[in-house]
Copies of this chain bind each other. A is one copy, B any other.
Amino acid sequence: PPKDPDEGDSRIALLTRILPSALIDQEFTAERWIPIPGEVREAYARVGRPTPYRRAEALERRLGLKVHIYYKYEGALPVGSHKLNTALAQAYYAKQDGAEEVATETGAGQWGMAVSLAAALFGLKATVFMTRSSYNSKRQRVTFIRTYGATVYPSPSDITETGRKFYRPDHPGSLGIAISEAVEYVLSGERRRYLPGSVLEFVLIHQSVIGLEAIQQMPEEPDYAIGCVGGGSNFGGFTYPMIGMKLRGEGFSKTKFLAAESAAAPKLTAGEYRYDFPDAVGVLPLIKMFTLGHDYVPPAVHAAGLRYHGAAPSLSLLKRLGLVDAVAYRQEEVFEAAVLFARAEGIIPAPESSHAIKAALDVAKKLPPGSVIAFNLSGHGLLDVDAYERAHVA
């Protein structure tokens, strides 16, 4: 469970004022299954769910191994990543609460795009606080956030007190400041809700649509199920339904679960398991997780989505219990894997998702013929051209 810090106002109490209420209920529910509301199911269908689950036969041939490699492709969603799964659910619940507007923060912009589209589909206004450095470098996502009808501010902005406190024209911004701005923005107006993009349990619950679909689509159970980990939502979404079945003895008895993280933010392989703030500034309740410290500053890497300092509490627990293994990769080796995959399977993978590819390749080389690997390709990289451009130059 989340907890409050020693000092200051209760962050837990704050949640009730900013989050859609159904999400808080989901965060604390004892239920194993939460039905997907009809409107959310319809929205999922409209944006292309179920997403494909494909066998990477050309990749297998290039590797020259007799290992079967499958991938679930969340980049098929119109924003290009799995983030839309929870954004749609959250926007729906915000609307159920009577909200007319949602707000959030975004770094590289995946989450901001997902929230903007979800808001558009449910007829809500959206306001996005985007770290200023990304606002300047990820112009594609800024543009498409606007195309979806949302308002996007570089953070620190001059429209919140927090923003004005930090504001300098050259301030690069941080996710922590952007979160604080979004929360302040929500609190300062009527009928607004804050939508968080990862880490919280309800986010992982919403993402479990990935794994639930994949289980239906799998022609064979994998020996390894692999995903990359930023906060843990795509990994959890893909693997938890399988882990659940394994724990309940309903299948996947031989399946191992492997989390691929960035060496730039190796919380699962090198972090501490303890209470920490999920945000840099400490406006949210503490959660127990593998963390590098909420003030950890990762080196700049292409996989902006993996630079997060912690891993979702449930994922951290599973890691601690030995049900999930983790491995960290440097971006150079990840990029090689990404290029190999693109040339074999056609999809330009997101830098984040490429960590899962790299892990899959490494595992494939060690497994006996006939083994099966499944990984989650959480997004495509068509909007990460800056990463690919720098990588080619390097």
A interface residue numbers (CB < 8 A to B): 42, 46-48, 52, 54, 57-58, 76-80, 84, 117, 120-121, 139-140, 143-144, 146-149, 338-339, 342-348, 380, 382-383, 385, 388-389, 392
Cross-chain contact B52 with A46 (CB below 8 angstroms): no
Contact of A48 among B52, B121, B392 (CB under 8 A): B52
The interface residues of chain B lying within 8 Å CB-to-CB of A58 are: 46, 121
Cross-chain contact A78 with B46 (CB below 8 angstroms): no
Cross-chain contact A46 with B345 (CB below 8 angstroms): yes
With contacts A54-B46, A121-B58, A382-B382 taken as known, whether A148 is within 8 angstroms of B343 at the C-beta atoms is yes
Cross-chain contact A120 with B78 (CB below 8 angstroms): no
Cross-chain contact B78 with A144 (CB below 8 angstroms): no
Enumerate the 4 nearest inter-chain pairs by beta-carbon distance, A residue then B residue, closest first.
A78-B346, A120-B343, A140-B385, A78-B347
Cross-chain contact B78 with A380 (CB below 8 angstroms): yes
Cross-chain contact A343 with B48 (CB below 8 angstroms): no
With contacts A380-B78, A382-B140 taken as known, whether A346 is within 8 angstroms of B392 at the C-beta atoms is no
The interface residues of chain B lying within 8 Å CB-to-CB of A80 are: 382
The distance in angstroms between the C-alpha atoms of A143 and B347, with both chains bound, is 14
Pick 8 A–B contacts, CB within 8 A, sort by A: A58-B121, A77-B346, A78-B346, A78-B348, A144-B348, A144-B382, A147-B338, A147-B342
The interface residues of chain B lying within 8 Å CB-to-CB of A54 are: 46
